[in-house]
Amino acid sequence: MSFLLFLSDAAIPLIIFVIIGYGLLTNCDIYHVFINGAVRGLKIVVQILPTLIGLMVAVGILRASGFMEWFAGLLAPICREIHFPAELLSVGFVKLFSSSAATGLALDIFKQYGTDSLQGLGASIMLSCTESVFYTLSVYFMAVKIKKTRWTLPCALLSTLSGIIMSILLAYQMI
C-alpha cells in the first residue's frame, strides 16, 4: 500500500522529469514548446468562454427561478410509481449542464435527507457515474471546431440515463 501512495505522489513530478529529460536528449527547446502550448491553450479558452458563460448563467437561472422544484413536483407522481426519488430529478437534469451546480444540489440533499439516505446515496452515485454532457460537448467540439455531432449527443444522453438508473438501483441495494 505504501508503494501505491508513493507512486501516486511521484507520478506528476516523474512525468515532468521524463518530458524535460526527453527534450534535453533530443535538443528540443522545451521552454519555447511550453510557451507555444500555453498560448494555444489561452486562445482556446478565449474561444469557448462565451459558451461557458452562457451555460453557467442558464444553470444559475434554472436554480434561482425555482423551475427545478416545480419540475420535480410535476413528475413526483410518476417517480413514486417507479420508485425513483423525485428529489434526484434536479440533480440528474442539472448534471447534464454543470457538475458544480449538481454538486451544490447534492449538498442540499445531504443536508435535508442525510448522506446515508436513499436520496443521499443516489445523488453520490449519480454524480460519479454521469457526465455533464452539454458542457463537455460544447467545450470539446467547439475547441476542435466540430459542427455536426452525429450520434454523440444521443449516445451521451443514453449513457447518462443508464447511469442515473443504475445509481438508483445501486442506492437501493446499499440501504
pTM for the model stands at 0.70
Q: What is the pLDDT of residues 30-63, one digit of tens each?
A: 889 999 999 998 998 888 888 778 877 887 888 7
Distances from the Cα of 114 to the Cα of 33, 60, 61, 118, angstroms? 50, 24, 26, 9
Give the residue with greater pLDDT, 166 vs 67.
Answer: 166
First to last CA, the chain: 30
Give residue for cell 467545450. Answer: 139
pLDDT, residue 155, reads 93
DSSP category for residue 38:
H
* Structural domain contains residue 35: no
* Structural domain contains residue 95: yes
* Structural domain contains residue 84: yes
In sequence order, the 6+-apart residues with CB closer than 8 A to the CB of 138 are 48, 51, 52, 55
* Structural domain contains residue 40: no
* Structural domain contains residue 7: no
Number of domains the chain is built from:
1
**Residue 77 structural domain:** 49-174
Q: What is the pLDDT of residues 94-152, one digit of tens each?
A: 898 888 888 988 999 999 999 999 999 999 999 999 998 988 888 888 778 888 888 99
Residue 85 clears pLDDT 80, i.e. is over it:
yes
pLDDT, residue 13, reads 92
* Structural domain contains residue 108: yes
